Each structure stands twice: as C-alpha cells, then as structure tokens.
Structure 1
C-alpha cells in the first residue's frame, strides 16, 4: 500500500506544481511527518481543518472552515505503523537495542529476516560514520543493530537524557562482565563471517576491529573509537530501521520532500557539469528563478538569486543556501 494515502490518488501533472493548491502542500507536510514518526504534530495538522489561502500580498483570505479532505486522513494501519515505529525509534535512541529488536521481530519480522534481494542495488554513499547506513537489506540492518547493542553494553556513562542502562560492565564481578563482552564480540565475528557477499565481509571486518577495540579502554567514551559511542550513531541506526520498516510494509522509505531535494540537487549539478546555459528570464514561467550561488568555503549569507547576467552556466543547487535565501 502506498505511503501517499492522504494525498491525491494520482500525482498531479508537473504543471500543477507551478501553482500548488493548499491540499498538495499539506499532503507533502503530512508525508514528511508520517515518515519521521511525528504523530502528534500530524494529528494536530489534520485537526486544523481550516486550509489557509493567501492573496498576492501574502495576506490570508478569510473563508469558512471546510471539512478535511478524505484524502488527507491517516488510515488505521498507518497510525499503527507510526506508533510502533516511534516506540522502536525511542528504544534505539535510549540505547535499549534488544527491546527494539524484540518489537521489530514481533511486528515487522521481514525487516530482519527477509531473504536478501537477489541483485540488491548498491546503497547510496554513507553520509554518517556508520557502515551501510542507507541500506535496507536485512543482513545489514540486523548486524548494525547487534553492533549497536554491543556498543551499548560497553558504555560506561549514559548519554544526556538516558536512564542509566543495565550494562554488562555494571555487573558485580568485572571479570564475568569482561568474559560476556568477549563472547558478544565473538558472536559479532560469526555473524560477519556468515554474510553472503565478500565485499560486505571485508567492510564489516574493518568495522568490527574498531568496535571491538572499545574493550581495551576503561572509559571507551574517551578512546580513539569514541565516535561509535555518540548519539549521532544511535540516530543513524534509528533512521535506517525506520526506513526499512516503511519499505517492508509497502510505504515509501523516504519522504517526498527529501526525494525532491535529492532529485533537484542531482539535476542542477548535472546541468552545471554539462555547462548548460540558463534560459532567458523572459522565457521562464513567472516566479521561476535560478538557485542562489554560494562559495562552499564561505558562510551562507542570505542573498538574491543568481540572474542571467551573473552566470554563463546554470549554478549548482545548494539546499542550505536555497533555504537561507530571501525571496525578493
């Protein structure tokens, strides 16, 4: 079932994006909130039945509140998915990895146990210090979760807002704790060796060398491998699991807004590399401007969009600069 349950059943023609209607914009926002487990915010938006329309000056056009469109409502299965994904995400972010895995196995077993894709496409490049962070393959997700569980077991101090977790290092007998940690490390090695792909084995072998090195330090949070102890890594694992659940349950694994940002970035970069010249301003639709230019080494300063006089070829698209640009 599509994740676009609360938007139009068929995407509007591209021409409609030049004059989006409030329902289209609300559907985009609801899609983002659903994807990222912001259930209360999504419900609040759905309960706000008055769709605000603005005139050319940006002033609200007052009208009678209308009943919400049936296309902008959450089906019961979507609400259940959102609530379960939020609980799983909360567990991962608080370091309760085993509890998260129990919930996944109970409610979304295919996330960790589905047969690997016969010819999986290579995952996008990892933007975090986290191996296969964008992969949806069960073997990657399962191993990443077990690695995270091992990391939590060697943690000596909780992250901010954590309740102190019951870790192996807190056992009365430190020698017994160390033995159990070594056994856990060996289990990770067995799982790594069981991976069907040779490249996966190689990459995870390097990953485990760094992770297991945490055992050599009394305070692993101060070790050279301290990056594995960060909240950012927990967030990366939680994001990966959330995307995999969406994918395995028939929803889009990435929000439409993020996909649009990626598509726009790639498209403008390609046009720039091909040295394509922008069309004359007189031939563009009203309101269409070139992306702002920005020096990657300089701080982002709000500025006017690039004009035809400023550029021989179309500029590359920089999302941060675009979001910080003041539209005249």
Structure 2
C-alpha cells in the first residue's frame, strides 16, 4: 500500500480505538507507527528529524510506564481518576507538537475511559463522581422542567445501576436507604426505569428471579456504551467511527447482493435458446 493509504488506515483504526476507549491499544499502535516511520527514514538514508526522535522517546517512556506492574494492578493510595484526567489535559498540551494527542479525540480520553471502566467494574459511584467533575453539564438537574432531559435520564439510569450493584452485594438495608434517598422521582419516564429494578429488593435470592438479568454483565456494558456515546456527543466527537460505517456499508452491500441472487448466464440451460431468438 502507498504511504497515503497506510496513513488513512491507521487514522481509521485509531479513531475506532479512541472512540471505544481502547487507550493502551491506541498508544501501542501509535508507538509502532512512529517506530516504522523512524525506520523508514533510516532506510531512505535521511537523518531522522528532531520531532521524530522526541516522539519515539516519549512514546517509549509512556509504554514502559503503562506496562509497570504497579500501574496495571492499581494502587489504593493513587490519586483520584478525575484528578489524573484533569492533569492529563496539561500533559497533552505539552506533547501536542510531537504526538497526535493534540487531536480532539485524545482530549479527556483518560476521563472518558475511567468512567467507562468504572461502569464495567460495577463501581457506579466512582463513575458518577468522575462525570460530575469532568462533565458537570451531564449532572445538572432542572427541578421545574416538566420532562427530564436526556442527561438527567442517563444519570438516573446510573443511579438505578448503583442500586442494582448494592443489591448484588447483599446489603438489603443499604439498598432500601439508597432507593429512598436517590431514586424518588415525579417524572413518569424515570418511574418506568425504577419499576424495572425495584423488584430485586423483594426477593430473598435476587439472582434467582425474573429480574436476575439485571445482574448480567451485558447490563453494565450497555450502560457504559450509552454513557460513552453521551460524552462523545457532549465533546463534539462522532458517535460512530468511519470503521463502523464501513462495516455497516459492507454488510448492506453483502445482503443486497445475496437478495438479488445473480445467476450466471453460462449456467442457464435456456440461455443459448434466448440468445438465438
């Protein structure tokens, strides 16, 4: 492939990785891409530019830092994720001349990924705290509005998921207290949401009832994806990447061709007769 085609492919893949919070994979792709670029300069006989050398050294340092065992396992005494996310914005600014992190897709990636990962892990309270810190507009509530806003509905879904996680832990009294404090609402739309999760508290073994599906990992996954899409929209970023659009287009073309069921005239026993007429 040409350099232009390679660059386009890398851009498409990177966009998908960033939108779906695969930060480490995106970093690894960027690191290897920069290595290949530097190697190409060596093979072509051109001296690597200063920006290339600085970019390669910084990427190497980042990769080594992220791969340290203490960073992979986490630390109970580590600074809050929201603080790290805020600090990372300053780091990205200083690296803008040497890396691709000046692209809007990289901004607030740490904050978005922390929220996403917290929801997947069932740490909903942490996710809500990070949202309030990094995306406060999502946590705003208009008490006089006749209908809840999209963000208010989303935050209520998070609160309901936190209720589910408390029930999962077996803390029945804590779950009841949480419901009374955080889940009361006058909006019909929100009442319909709480109606789906409130029956859990009535069962001695909520994992063995008709509502047990609420404990499935797919519930966390769906909510994490929905919150991620909301944050992307709020940040002015596309909610559907070029790679996802290409995949959909490929499937549409494939299905259309299958429906048309083209026949090869050479295999049609009547084709010779039709041509002679």
Is the contact made by 1:27 and 1:72 (CA closer than 8 Å) also made in structure 2?
no
Structure-to-structure mapping, 1:162-181, within 5 angstroms: 169=171, 177-178=172-173, 180-181=174-175
**CA–CA distance in structure 1, aligned partners of residues 156 and 255 of structure 2:** 44
**CA–CA distance in structure 2, aligned partners of residues 245 and 137 of structure 1:** 12
1:95 has 2:122 as partner: yes
Structure-to-structure mapping, 1:1-328, within 5 angstroms: 21-47=5-31, 48-49=33-34, 50=36, 64=44, 73-75=100-102, 78-113=105-140, 137-156=150-169, 169=171, 177-178=172-173, 180-187=174-181, 189-191=183-185, 193-194=186-187, 201-202=188-189, 204-262=190-248, 293=258, 308-309=262-263
Cα offset, 1:42, TM superposition: 1.0
CA RMSD of aligned residues (A): 3.7
Displaced runs of 4 or more, over 3 A? 63-68, 76-80, 186-189, 204-207, 259-265, 289-294
CA offsets 1:26-59 (integer angstroms, 9 cap, x no match): 11100001101111211221122337xxxxxxxx
How many equivalent residue pairs? 204
Gaps of 5+ in 1: 1-19, 52-62, 121-135, 157-166, 170-176, 195-200, 269-288, 295-305, 311-328
Alignment TM-score, normalising by the size of structure 2: 0.61
Cα offset, 1:22, TM superposition: 1.5
**CA–CA distance in structure 2, aligned partners of residues 31 and 113 of structure 1:** 29
Structure number with higher helix proportion: 2
Cα offset, 1:209, TM superposition: 2.4
Larger-Rg structure: 2
Alignment TM-score, normalising by the size of structure 1: 0.53
Cα offset, 1:79, TM superposition: 3.5
